[in-house]
A and B are shown apart, each in its own frame.
Chain A
Amino acid sequence: MDILRFVDEEQKRILAEVGSEPARLITTAYYRQAAELSDKCVKRESQARESFTSKADAILLHRFFGPLILVGVVYILYYLSIVKGYQLTHYTWPWLASFRNLVISILPKEGLLFDPVMRSIVLSVVDGLIAVLNYVPIFAILFSLVAILEDTGYVPRMAFIMDRVFRQFGLHGQSMFPMVLGGVVVGGCAVPGIMATRTIKDQRARIATILVIPLLNCLAKTPLHIMLIEMFFREYRPFAIFFISTISLVIALTVSKILSLTVLKSEESAPFLMEMPPYHMPTILGVLQRCWERLWLFFRKIVVVVIPVMVIVFALTSLPGLNTAKRELYLAELDKIVEDFQAAVGDESPYASVVSDDNLTELVRFSKEFDLAKKAARSEAGLKKVHRKFMARDLAFYKLSNRGRFELDGVMETDVEAARISRYYRGFERERKALRSRLRDDTINHSVLGIIGRSFEPITKYAGFDWKVNIALLSSFAAKESSVATLGGIYGLDGGIGLEGQVDAEDLGWTDLHALALMVFMVVFPPCIPTLLAVKMETGKTLWMVFAGLYPVVLGLVLAGLIYTGGNALGLTGIQAMVAFYVLSTLIMLVLAMIHRPNAEALDDWSS
């Protein structure tokens, strides 16, 4: 302790004698020395690169052109990764589909009505995995482009340009880059976004950034948005897409302003001070390395989170299951459907034995595998091969599954009797699927998650969400990627739910206000579990993680309630409500931007 006092006294003595702080004297001497040394030892090369950098900066950081170029860069970034990357997924999807088929082929076979539990669990995990893996091409492009931006030295320039805007909302210029990763327009991922906030020295702005990044359009939210737009806002598609890709930023900026005025008030703020490094040509290796680092985060998310979560969701939606009496009831119904079908075929038909009780299950499996194989075929030739393979496997089954048509000595023939029966068969399949989905509905209805979803209904009904939507939302808390599939599953739309989701509006029984409320709720949807873990890791506080998980629920319910209940009260249509909501949110955002804290000067200050 003596030494501390000694230092203190010495500091005062020097200040009194020399009139300057020791720290100041030391740094001055330090840098004078460094300058002398560097003058002596460093031979300067030509200034070509510096002058190129300053010429480039004259345009890229220009008062008017700078922001325009920035918008252009962000647009190109998303265009290449989302639009082009999405096209790439058409090539990668068949691989994933054949992986799924491979898994199916080694799983226990499905029954007419009840499936083996093992099969259902593994399939739900595989579907969850595939839904996430399907994004890999998009992320690979996005992360590579982002790495190029980083390596060229443009990222600090982005911060410079955005600082004057973001300051108004309690953020920092450096918040821009993490927000690009998190999906400022459409399709990012919050996890690498939150990781990228590490460089922000301003603690208040950093936490604000971390808390609002999950509000942006992460890629997993996109399928649901697209599905709802296609179903309910098809006529207004351009506006609806504009709405969804910008409303998230409007909400994020509003929320960050509110947070920095309230809960983040006491966090430490720091001034803007950044070096603008000379522009560089990125190297391929460096870009690939960074891309891989961020992709790896994404893969880890899959293994650590998606797999266990899909198992848990499966358990919560199927337990405790139906009681024996109920099962008997469903089995009896199935028997009736089977009997009706067999009666329609008739005893005299040569196919009577093909559709007999012993063979029917086989026929159903054959037909389903045939459909799957056809979908997985990548080319015309591949499709032919599939036909040949299944024809060779069982001609009678093949004819019934292919509307009676078959190939004989290189000529297409039609078996009239098989064609007649295949019509009845399709009817039988329809009824069987309807029964299965009723069964699933019933199971979910009485499951743990169903009971929870129903118990939330009194609150969520103001937002227009019934218990089924609640279940879908609860389970997509784990992995939003599955929201479309879950909705499809819960609403009893058997099979055929791709990423675009072929769900019909009538099946859901929704109005466009329902859809809008759900879309806006999805925008402010609580962060997924990997994101929450990232929040905890980066802020170092569990409290922030809890906060990040809870405030979106409240906010989302308020906004969705405003749209659904308010929209209904005013008799608005979906598109009217959309415009009204957009105008209102933008106004609120602009008003908030004008609020300066009493000590606004201190925002840039460091007196503390």
Chain B
Amino acid sequence: MKKTIVPLTMLPPGNSGIVVDTESVGRGIISRLSDMGLHYGSEIKVVSSTGLGPILIQVKDCTMAIGRGMARQILVKRKV
């Protein structure tokens, strides 16, 4: 059985997950994510994730690119 809660970077392209937590809790991360409409409980679909550079995700109707270092800190629950 695969782990169900993983950092966003571990999610392969095409898969979705639900944001459950962020690793470091600064005011920065929360306000920035909410600026982009990302919050606990929102569903993220990984569009493309190459070994290098930012990963491309889809939240609702919105596509966004998110830095790898930041994505590593977003914990998502894998959706099957």
Residues of A whose CB lies within 8 Å of any CB of B are 21, 23-24, 27-28, 30-32, 47, 50, 53-54, 57, 61, 63, 156, 159-160, 163-164, 167, 173, 271-276, 278, 601, 603-608
Contacts and interface: CB of A to CB of B under 8 A. Distances in A.
Contact of A604 (B34, B63, B68): B68
B54 A27 contact: no
Interface in B9-68: 24-32, 34, 36-37, 39-42, 47-48, 50, 52-54, 56, 58, 61-68
Given A63-B48, A273-B32, A31 B65 contact: no
A603 B61 contact: no
Contacts of B69: 271, 601, 603-605
A576 B28 CA distance: 52
B54 A163 contact: yes
B6 interface: no
B64 A273 contact: yes
A21 B63 contact: no
Contacts of A28: 39-41
Nearest to B56: A61
A174 to B, nearest CB: 10
Contact of B63 (A27, A275, A605): A275
Contacts of B72: 604
Contact of A50 (B29, B32, B61): B61
Q: Which label, helix, strand, loop or mixed, suits the secondary structure of the B interface?
A: mixed
B5 interface: no
B38 to A, nearest CB: 9
Contacts of A23: 27, 30-31
A604 B28 CA distance: 13
A272 B70 contact: yes
Contacts, number: 102
16 contacts: A21-B30, A23-B27, A23-B31, A27-B31, A30-B39, A47-B61, A50-B61, A53-B63, A57-B63, A160-B54, A164-B52, A274-B54, A275-B36, A276-B62, A276-B63, A605-B69
Contacts of B66: 271-273
A450 B76 CA distance: 69
Contacts of B31: 23, 27
A601 B34 CA distance: 23
Contacts of A31: 34, 37, 39, 41-42
Contacts of B67: 163, 271-273, 604
Contact of B56 (A27, A57, A605): A57
Given A57-B56, A271-B70, 8 more contacts: A23-B31, A30-B34, A271-B66, A273-B64, A273-B66, A275-B63, A276-B64, A604-B67
Contacts of A601: 69
B29 A606 contact: yes
Q: Which of B28, B31, B69 lies at the interface centre, i.e. has the most chain A CB atoms within 10 A of its CB?
A: B69
Nearest to A201: B32
